[in-house]
Amino acid sequence: MRTIKGPSIHLAQFSDAQAPFSSLDAIAEWAAERGFAALQIPAWDTRLFDVRKAVESRDYCDEVVGVVAKHGLVIGELTTHILGQLVAVHPAYDSMCDAFAPEAVRGNSGARSEWALQQIRFAAQASRRLGLTEMGTFSGSFAWPYVFPFPQRPEGLIDAAFDELARRWRPILDVCDEQGVNLCYELHPREDLHDGVTFDMLLDRVGNHPRCRILFDPSHFVLQHLKYLDFIDLYHARIGMFHVKDAEFNPTGRQGIYGGYQPWINRAGRFRSLGDGQVDFKAIFSKLAQYDFSGWATLEWECCLKDQDDGAREGAAFIQDHIIRVTDRTFDDFAGTPLDAASMTTLLGIA
């Protein structure tokens, strides 16, 4: 068994135009002061990291590693969630997703998707240059508006959506394989890959590709009423990344899983700072230790109540307290009785 690494922090929810969140140097110093050991860097945020420059310049990669190391940190992983979102966009979300892309490709869904796919290729290459083995992403979505089957979904609609999803992602998975990087899909509502069944639908279509992995985030499973401990039992071999994020689901007589179009603070299901929600993290960390998960335990802070600085500081301590330093021995070794082959046959009554 191997001990989970951590605590790490995903910077996407903290990056901002204001200091100390506007540069890698400043945000690294801030993270180190709050007790983190690693950074998970959003590859789409050029304020923190330039994937194109990382592909073109070894010196730039060394510089980035040096900036982080100056504060006693390492880079845990890169993430490409916003880029993955643009790989597959249903027309209902087209104009909203345009804001994620450069002006040159806005209003042109094909060009926007190709731009995003190229950026993900760059991120895979950059991951290799940085010595990283896992990269997080979203799958994007063609089928999400049809998640509830009324009016009845036309026969073959979902198959067509997943066939096209696989067609777009298979070449990226091959690039990741060339770079020695696992592509870890965060199973997330609004994405076509949002649970085990939908992950399997893509996995089957990409030929059980060895680089097709999972970013495990139990908060999304709480809001779906999915048994996240059973999920680990089923999919542990495919889990490559771990977001430590809490959530709660408190249905009422007026509102349930769909949330009634309410803002986060008024929803029955909402994300919370670590320790304030309903996720059983003791059981999760135990399961991951049992299955030899050796990646990073990474805080993803999303809370509609608590201040983000408090959430980060408390989150680092929470993760540190939950990491299980695995044993290198069995507790009852003291009672062991070594026997030779002859003694074993006698013990079993075998003539």
Instruction: Convert the pLDDT of each residue in 300-319 to its tens digit.
Output: 999 999 999 999 999 999 99
Pick left, alpha or beta for residue 207 (phi over 0 → left; psi -120 to 50 → alpha; otherwise beta): left
333 pLDDT above the threshold of 90 = no
C-alpha dist (Å) from residue 320 to 7, 207, 281, 313, 317 = 6, 38, 12, 11, 5
Q: Which residue, among 142, 231, 138, has the nearest Cα to 185 in the 3D structure?
A: 138
291 pLDDT above the threshold of 80 = yes
Res 106: pLDDT: 97
Listed by start position, the domains of the chain span 5-348
Q: How confident is the model at residue 329 (pLDDT cuts 50, 70, 90)?
A: confident
Over residues 134-165, the pLDDT tens digits come to: 999 999 999 999 999 999 999 999 999 999 99
The Cα 308–Cα 180 span in angstroms is 34
Fold of 5-348: TIM Barrel (3.20.20)
Q: What is the mean pLDDT of the chain?
A: 96
Strand partners, 154: none
Task: Answer whether 215's CB lies under 8 Å from 136's CB.
Answer: yes
Over residues 73-100, the pLDDT tens digits come to: 999 999 999 999 999 999 999 999 999 9
Res 41: pLDDT: 98
The Cα 182–Cα 201 span in angstroms is 18
Over residues 214-238, the pLDDT tens digits come to: 999 999 999 999 999 999 999 999 9
Q: How confident is the model at residue 20 (pLDDT cuts 50, 70, 90)?
A: very high
